[in-house]
Amino acid sequence: MICVGGGTGVAAMHHIAKGHAAMGNQVVAIVGARNKDLLLFCSELGSFCPEVLVATDDGSFGHKGFVTEVLKQRLEEDKNVSEVVAIGPVPMMEAVSKVTLPFGVKTTVSLNAIMVDGIGMCGACRCTVGGETKFACVDGPEFDGHTVDFAELRNRLGQFRPQEQESMALFQHKCQCGEGK
């Protein structure tokens, strides 16, 4: 199996990869970040994964580019991959699901990053999976990546972007004026 982690998603992916390795599965880890200084758990993953493949957006370490490019190359070379698990930013998990689909590889994505209260009350982690409304905190957070409605999820995650930008601008202004201390 292949475990793909992007950014801080590598922290959660690390535990899933370790569990699979402990069960006797051969696990290949693919991790990515914007640059080498933001990479997480590479040496730890190397202690139980025979291969740790790295991608950085800026090329400061490993493959220059995205984890999906490394994943696609690996899937083209290795026809024995039975499952891919992806944890990281929503756009990355969507891209991983698109890469694995033509290969017919089961793909699990973890939507833990969209959870807020963890008990299904706030609805912040509501998503559509296989045409049904699900809550990541109580129905997941792991779902079949080929059935997640990523377009809807992206729209929901961007719903409050103008308010977030306004809040950030106000915060930055207060910090510059010395009011944020």
Q: In this predicted model, which residue has the larger pLDDT, 43 or 179?
A: 43
Whole-number average pLDDT of the chain:
94
Name which CATH class applies to 2-176: alpha beta
User: Averaged over 138-153, what is the pLDDT?
Assistant: 96
Asked if residue 170 lies in contact with residue 162, where contact means CB atoms within 8 angstroms, the answer is no
| Cα gap 28→78, rounded to integer Å | 11
Task: Summarize pLDDT for 96-141 with one digit per residue, the tens.
Answer: 999 999 999 999 999 988 888 788 888 888 999 999 999 999 999 9
Q: Are strands 106-110 and 2-6 parallel, antiparallel or unpaired?
A: unpaired
Task: Summarize pLDDT for 116-128 with one digit per residue, the tens.
Answer: 878 888 888 899 9
State the pLDDT at residue 156. Answer: 85
Interacting residues of 98 by C-beta distance below 8 A, sequence separation 6+: 68
3-state secondary structure at position 64: strand
- The residue assigned the tokens 């291969």 is 51
Residue type, 96: V
In percent, the amount of the chain with pLDDT more than 90 equals 82
| Cα gap 126→94, rounded to integer Å | 16
Task: Summarize pLDDT for 36-71 with one digit per residue, the tens.
Answer: 999 999 999 999 999 999 999 999 999 999 999 999
User: Averaged over 73-77, what is the pLDDT?
Assistant: 98
State the pLDDT at residue 124. Answer: 85
Query: Does position 151 have pLDDT exceeding 70, yes or no?
Result: yes
Q: Which two tokens stand for residue 87?
A: 């944890």
Provide the whole-model pTM: 0.90
State the pLDDT at residue 65. Answer: 98
